């Protein structure tokens, strides 16, 4: 019985991951996280040092030595609220000078959530 319970949990996990993968490949990732790039209609906001600090604390690697920050934007999305996007590069790990992006937002629970994407078109400075 113990093995069956573990098997059921593993099965449910893989079904959940497969469903997320299907949703993302179909372009329906908006229900999971904000879009990595600013969208038409998003209002650009002035810098918010407190929110920026919360995001950087949540994604501690961005303050590590060797991380190069390129550009950042704070905007207001009708669905997701305030979103911070930061383009960065880790030269030692970068492939062909690709740009990575941190996307940070505040969940309705108050929790700061982050997402890192790769190979994004750089945001203008």
Per-residue confidence of the chain (125 residues) as pLDDT tens digits?
334 343 333 333 333 333 344 444 445 455 788 999 999 999 999 999 999 999 999 988 777 778 888 999 999 998 899 999 999 988 887 777 678 999 999 988 889 999 999 888 898 87
Going by the DSSP 8-state scheme, the letter that residue 9 receives in this structure is H
| 18 and 37 part of one domain | no
The total of structural domains in the chain comes to 2
Q: What angle do CA 91, 103, 96 make, to 5 degrees?
A: 25
Do 39 and 6 sit in the same domain of this protein? no
Domain shared by 71 and 96, yes or no: yes
| Distance from C-alpha of 123 to C-alpha of 75, rounded to nearest angstrom | 13
Co-location of 18 and 41 in the same domain? no
In a domain, 125, yes or no: no
Nearest to 38 by CA among 77, 88, 78, 80: 77
The answer to whether residues 74 and 47 touch, using CB atoms and an 8 Å cutoff, is: yes
């Amino acid at each position: 019985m113990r093995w069956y319970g573990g098997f059921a949990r593993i099965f449910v996990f893989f079904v959940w991951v497969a469903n997320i993968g299907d949703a993302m490949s179909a372009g329906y990732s908006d229900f999971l996280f904000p879009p990595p790039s600013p969208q038409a209609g998003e209002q650009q906001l002035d810098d918010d040092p407190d929110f920026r600090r919360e995001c950087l604390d949540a994604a501690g690697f961005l303050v590590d030595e060797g991380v190069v920050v390129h550009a950042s934007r704070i905007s207001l999305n009708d669905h997701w609220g305030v979103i911070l996007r930061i383009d960065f590069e880790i030269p030692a790990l970068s492939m062909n000078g690709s740009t990575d992006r941190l996307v940070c937002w505040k969940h309705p629970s108050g929790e700061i959530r982050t997402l890192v994407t790769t190979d994004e078109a750089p945001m203008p400075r």
